[in-house]
A and B are shown apart, each in its own frame.
Chain A
């Protein structure tokens, strides 16, 4: 069964460093998303991406964050200068055009020290 994959599974970085989280969505899906979950808290929407552009973003998704689809398969989330409060699990998700279900990847746990 096709699935969303994410790399790395765990990333440790120092405050102020840039990180890039990578995702490979399900191959025939056209909508891509990033969510984050701070430990013990609810899952929060960051951004959605369709047709090579951001279609929606939350207030969390400030100028620190950017997304890109550099090729036909990868979808990335970049955090330019990480802060301690960026420590969280970051989930990539994708959905097919016309369908509602969003399928999540296994997540990348980001730890900022």
Chain B
């Protein structure tokens, strides 16, 4: 079974509008973390936002917020006021903490976001 599922291979959004990128995850570990990374066409991986499974509030970082619904096992990324520079591939990732030696991130297949003027 896929641990991280991103069901939207591609998304379009108009500049200045908000967009939600979906991510669902599968784990039996009660302690885990969820991450979003941005990969522009230049190829680098840019960390955007982190949500811990025990965090009471949804994470926010500037125009990025994470809509964390634990019961549904979803961790959707919301980008408000989209900008042309937001056009990129976006990856959701998870780290499971039960095994404290374990730090590997498991990534989803990504969503390509295109912001249109």
Contacts and interface: CB of A to CB of B under 8 A. Distances in A.
Check if A and B associate: yes
B45 A91 contact: yes
B108 A42 contact: yes
A43 B45 contact: yes
A109 B43 contact: yes
Contacts of A74: none
B104 A58 contact: yes
B105 A45 contact: yes
A14 to B, nearest CB: 23
Nearest to A104: B45
Contacts of A103: 47
Interface in A71-108: 89, 91, 93, 95, 100-107
Contacts of A68: none
A44 interface: yes
B9 to A, nearest CB: 11
Contacts of A41: 109
Given A42-B91, A43-B91, A107-B43, A102 B105 contact: yes
Q: Is the interface of A mostly helix, strand, loop or mixed?
A: strand
Contacts of A42: 91, 107-110
Interface stretch (B14-22, B66-74, B77-85, B95-103): B95-103
Given A100-B52, A100-B95, A48 B103 contact: yes
A98 B7 CA distance: 32
Contact of A43 (B33, B47, B50, B107): B107
Interface in B15-43: 33, 35, 37, 42-43
Contacts of A104: 37, 44-47
Interface string A15-54: 0000000000000000101010000011111001000000
A56 B97 CA distance: 13
Most buried by B among A35, A95, A102, A106: A102
4 closest cross-chain pairs (CB), A and B: A104-B45, A45-B104, A43-B107, A106-B44
Interface of B: 33, 35, 37, 42-47, 50, 52, 91, 93, 95, 101-110
